[in-house]
Amino acid sequence: MLFDELIGEFDRGLRSITGVARMSRPVPQPDVVADDSEMTVAEQSHAAALMRVNHVGEVCAQALYQAQKLATRSERLKQAFERAAREEEDHLAWTAHRLRELDSRPSLLNPLWYAGSLAIGFVAGRFGDRVSLGFMAETERQVEQHLDGHLDRLPALDHASRAIVMQMRTDEITHARAASDAGGVELPAPVTALMRVAARMMTRTAYYI
């Protein structure tokens, strides 16, 4: 049973790294007609870089949830992490789709981001379910803040990217609330500060590479 689970997670991880993500929901569409040709070259490049950062975040999310699911013995939590991972896989597919529309690419460092997040998620999971859930809640809260910043920074005419980011933000809020309601503990301030520093380094690197 464990071997089958490991095979399944390996398959998901490989798809995450290579960009072959499956979506269970269609790509969110803007309320207004989006035309990328209305953006300048610089605006398109900036939008693509921001969506590359978001795509990296979803690669990391897949690894985190995979590791936490493997670390827990609770079937209830395994199912909760699986549900969240499936929604995050939608985000992964949506951001990859948007990158292709903007004639851009995912981060070249995706294998590194994935491996690091897998290790972090497994460590968090080994501290117990309540800590693991608290880590999930804090991660999602920080992602929500990050997406708020992207909504401010996206070009005004990039309605397509904005629609995707807005739905991602809604999902992240739901994930954070679910983790807290399930018993997640508040993490110590030094831990949350370290998480912010690591996320800042990742986003700055992924913007370019």
Binding-site positions for Fe cation read: 58, 88, 91, 140, 172, 175
Q: What is the pLDDT of residue 182?
A: 85
- What proportion of the chain, given as a percentage, has pLDDT over 90? 52
Full domain range(s) for residue 132: 41-207
Q: Domain count of the chain?
A: 1
Instruction: For residue 164, tell me if it sits in a domain.
Output: yes
What digits encode the pLDDT tens for the residues 39-49?
999 999 999 99
Q: What is the pLDDT of residue 4?
A: 52
Q: What is the pLDDT of residue 163?
A: 96
Instruction: For residue 27, tell me if it sits in a domain.
Output: no
Answer with the residue of higher pLDDT: 132 or 22: 132
Band the pLDDT of 16: cuts 50, 70, 90: low
b/e code 173-187 from CB counts within 10 Å (16+ = b)? eebbebbbebebbeb
What digits encode the pLDDT tens for the residues 176-198?
998 898 888 999 999 899 989 98
Binding-site positions read: 58, 88, 91, 140, 172, 175
Instruction: For residue 77, tell me if it sits in a domain.
Output: yes
Does 152 have pLDDT greater than 90?
yes
CA distance 102 to 95: 10
Instruction: For residue 199, tell me if it sits in a domain.
Output: yes
Q: What is the pLDDT of residue 2?
A: 46
Instruction: For residue 24, tell me if it sits in a domain.
Output: no
What mean pLDDT is reported for the chain?
Answer: 87
Instruction: For residue 104, tell me if it sits in a domain.
Output: yes
Q: Which helix (H) or strand (E) holds 63?
A: helix 41-71
Residues 6+ positions from 144 with CB-CB distance below 8 Å: 169, 172, 173, 176
What digits encode the pLDDT tens for the residues 45-83?
999 999 999 999 999 988 888 888 888 888 888 888 888
| 156: CATH | 1.20.1260.10
Instruction: For residue 181, tell me if it sits in a domain.
Output: yes
Instruction: For residue 5, tell me if it sits in a domain.
Output: no
